[in-house]
């Protein structure tokens, strides 16, 4: 699986996340896969998404105790499958935006495959029946924010608010982006979340987009999936 092998690295520390476990198993299943399909790309994206919830190493001697405490608190409260669902909605918005700008001939085909895979993955894990509706609700809002010319901070304002609502793996729900009370958390906890989000945005997301670019470079549109 040469094109996508960069994302599939050695196994990571244990986590209670079922999405992370799924990603690790798919890494094993696909390590010798050569065919590039939307389903394989989806698995790579989820593997990168799950990095957000992977436990961080604690052996660095220079790490301050206060910083480690913030990290431990974050992983206890927000390194969960509901948070991964919310971040995944944002990730697929970013991927869809890249496809719109760079591979519009594959956009519908990829989106339909991603939607089907996303529903199949998160419905049993979160034990909710409206995964597709929530995904489309989130993506539609991020698309509206993008059309307004907003900076990255505004995306993170919404995303942070949604992830804060997943504290303790609380299940995602319909969210009125324009008229919803703000979740009140401690300043340090919100700072830890925003720091983690920015790190994922700046490091992991570009790597995932690059993987999509490489993978789609060898794909041809399926006429059956691109009919209007």
Query: pLDDT (tens digit, 0 to 9) for every residue of the chain, 228 residues total?
Result: 444 555 555 444 455 789 999 999 999 999 888 899 999 999 999 999 999 888 765 444 444 444 444 445 566 677 899 999 999 999 999 999 999 999 999 999 999 999 999 999 999 999 999 999 999 999 999 999 999 998 998 999 999 999 999 988 999 999 988 876 566 566 777 888 888 899 999 999 999 999 999 999 999 887 776 554
pLDDT at 59: 40
Structural domain including 210 reads: 5-54+65-221
Q: Is residue 227 part of a domain?
A: no
Total domains, the chain: 1
Say if CB 87 and CB 139 are below 8 A apart: no
Q: Considering the domain boundaries, does residue 59 fall inside one? A: no
pLDDT of amino acid 61:
40
- Core vs surface per residue 53-73: b (16+ CB within 10 A) or e: bbbeeeeeeeeeeeeeebbee
- pLDDT of 58 reads 46
In a domain, residue 210? The reply is yes
pLDDT at 33: 84
Query: What is the pTM for the complete model shown?
Result: 0.85
Q: Is 154 a member of any domain?
A: yes
Residue 228 lies in a domain: no
| 33 located within any domain | yes
Report if residue 226 sits inside a domain: no
Residue 60 belongs to a domain: no
């Amino acid at each position: 699986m040469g094109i996508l092998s960069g994302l599939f690295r050695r196994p990571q520390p244990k986590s209670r996340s079922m999405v992370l476990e799924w990603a690790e198993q798919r890494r094993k299943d696909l390590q010798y896969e050569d065919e590039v399909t939307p389903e394989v790309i989806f698995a790579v994206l989820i593997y990168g998404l799950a990095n957000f919830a992977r436990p961080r190493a604690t052996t660095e001697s220079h790490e301050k105790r206060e910083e480690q405490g913030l990290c431990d608190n974050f992983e206890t409260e927000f390194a969960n499958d509901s948070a991964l669902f919310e971040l995944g909605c944002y990730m697929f918005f970013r991927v869809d935006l890249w496809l719109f700008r760079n591979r519009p001939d594959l956009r519908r085909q990829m989106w339909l495959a991603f939607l089907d895979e996303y529903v199949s993955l998160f419905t049993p894990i979160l034990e909710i029946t409206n995964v597709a509706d929530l995904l489309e609700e989130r993506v539609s809002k991020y698309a509206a924010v993008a059309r307004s010319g907003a900076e990255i901070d505004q995306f993170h304002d919404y995303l942070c608010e949604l992830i804060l609502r997943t504290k303790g793996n609380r299940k995602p729900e319909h969210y009125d982006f324009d008229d919803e009370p703000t979740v009140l958390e401690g300043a340090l906890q919100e700072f830890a979340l925003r720091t983690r989000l920015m790190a994922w945005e700046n490091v992991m997301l570009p790597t995932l987009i690059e993987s999509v670019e490489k993978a789609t470079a060898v794909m041809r549109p399926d006429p059956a999936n691109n009919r209007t």
